[in-house]
Amino acid sequence: MKMSFNRMLVGSLIAAFLWVAPGRAQTVTGAVTGTVTDPSGAIIPGATVVAINVATTVRTLATTNSAGVYSIRFLPIGNYEMEVAATGFTKITLAPVHA
């Protein structure tokens, strides 16, 4: 009786895992991460980075950390223009990227 219960429990757990696992791998958002540097390769902390959704023009803002790194997460899937601005530098707009 105990062996049969254990088999049933293990079988149920495997079935539940197989049913749930495919749903966890899907996502409807993307992310853009990078490092802002000047032409000489020096990092730019405190730079403002804006991801602009090409289809909706929604703007999502980030600021680089002390290592010049930014991360914009949970963006709806789509194409984004990237604007980068920092004190003492000319603002640039980068060609669309896919997130």
Quick one: the chain helix, strand, coil %, rounded to 5?
Answer: 25, 40, 35
Q: Return the CATH number of the domain spanning residue range 28-98.
A: 2.60.130.10
pLDDT tens sequence across 76-96: 999 999 999 999 999 999 989
How far is Cα 53 from Cα 13, in angstroms, rounded to an integer? 42
Q: Residue 4 pLDDT > 90, yes or no? A: no
| CA–CA separation, 43 and 76 (whole Å) | 28
Lowest mean pLDDT among 8-12, 27-31, 62-66, 88-92: 8-12
Look at 26 and 25; give whichever has higher pLDDT.
26
Q: Tell me, what's the pLDDT at 8?
A: 54
Query: What are the boundaries of each domain within the chain?
Result: 28-98
Q: What is the mean pLDDT of the chain?
A: 83
Residue 36 is encoded by which pair of tokens? 């802002």
Which residues lie below 8 Å from residue 45, measured CB to CB, with a gap of 6+? 64, 65, 66, 67, 68
Average pLDDT over residues 2-7: 52
